[in-house]
Amino acid sequence: MLELRQLRKSYNGRPVLRGLSHLFAPGEFVAIMGESGVGKSTLLNLIAGLDAPDEGDVIVDGQVMAALDDDAATRLRRARMGFIFQAFHVLPHLSLTQNVALPLLLNRAGHDLARAGEMLEAVGLSGRGDDFPRQLSGGEMQRVAIARALVHRPALVLADEPTGNLDPETADTILTLLRREIKATGASAIMVTHSHAAAAHADKILVLSHSGLEILPNN
């Protein structure tokens, strides 16, 4: 699903990623940890094609991201990727159903309210489709974000500190839910996190440093 080949990236002459290579298995839930400044968010941006490496390749679903023009990269992101953010990015003027259905609309797959309803039910928000984000707790908004990330059945889910704004109990509930839904849809997932408790939900933990990615035992 995803391969990184000798990625190099610098900002203002300061190397961040230095020849990073890794192969991610289909259907695998991977947590990436590391100290601040080692390039965790940079790596997610490169995988998503929101930034380009100075050298090397990001290959998603058999396609080299840097070889795609802007329109093709956007289509690939919309069709094959799902995104979960620390700040939720749930749109306040849309109902929960409309928020969840947004990727289907952007993919011109139709405004599939039934599929959105299925995903809201899957994340424990059945019957809440007509509610608006202002009526939700932080944990509930993150549930909506998970439903939205998975509604179009993406092959790859990218999560950037998805529990950073949640208390430990809610974070544990959200990650249990995320893992369940990822496994149910067969998606691969990469989660950047600073939390060992969050990373423990993953199949594999990788520690990113300036020298590369190291596999951390996950017992």
Task: Give just the sign of the alpha carbon dihedral 131, 134, 140, 146.
Answer: positive
Mean pLDDT within 196-204: 94
- Residue % of the chain over a pLDDT of 90: 69
Spatial contact of 24 and 189, defined as CB atoms under 8 Å apart: no
Whole-angstrom Cα distance, residue 138 to residue 119?
A: 18
> H or E segment at 116?
helix 113-122
pLDDT (0 to 100) of residue 198: 94
120 pLDDT higher than 90: yes
Interval 141-161 mean pLDDT: 93
Residues β-bridged to residue 57: 5
How much is the mean pLDDT over the chain? 90
Q: Which residues contact 70 (CB under 8 A, 6 or more apart)?
A: none
Give the C-alpha separation, 23 to 152, whole Å.
24
| Band (218; pLDDT cuts 50, 70, 90) | low
Among 16-25, 91-100, 128-137, the least confident range = 16-25
> H or E element: which one contains 121?
helix 113-122
DSSP β-bridge partners for residue 32: 192, 206
List the structure tokens of 24: 């991610």
Tens of pLDDT, residues 51-110:
999 999 999 988 999 899 999 999 999 999 999 988 889 999 999 999 999 999 888 765
Which tokens belong to 43?
């790596």
The whole-number average pLDDT for the span 117-146 is: 94
Angle 195-51-74 (CA atoms, 0-180°, nearest 5)? Answer: 100
The tens digit of pLDDT for each residue in 166-195 reads: 899 999 999 999 999 889 888 999 999 999
Q: Quote the CA–CA distance of 201 and 183 in Å, as a whole number.
A: 12
CATH for the 2-216 domain, from 2.40.128.20, 3.40.50.740, 3.60.21.70, 3.40.50.300: 3.40.50.300
Cα-flanking dihedrals φ and ψ of residue 82, to 5°? -125, 145
Other beta carbons within 10 angstroms of residue 176's beta carbon come to 11
**CA 44 to mean position of chain CA atoms:** 8
As a whole number, mean pLDDT of residues 188-211 equals 92
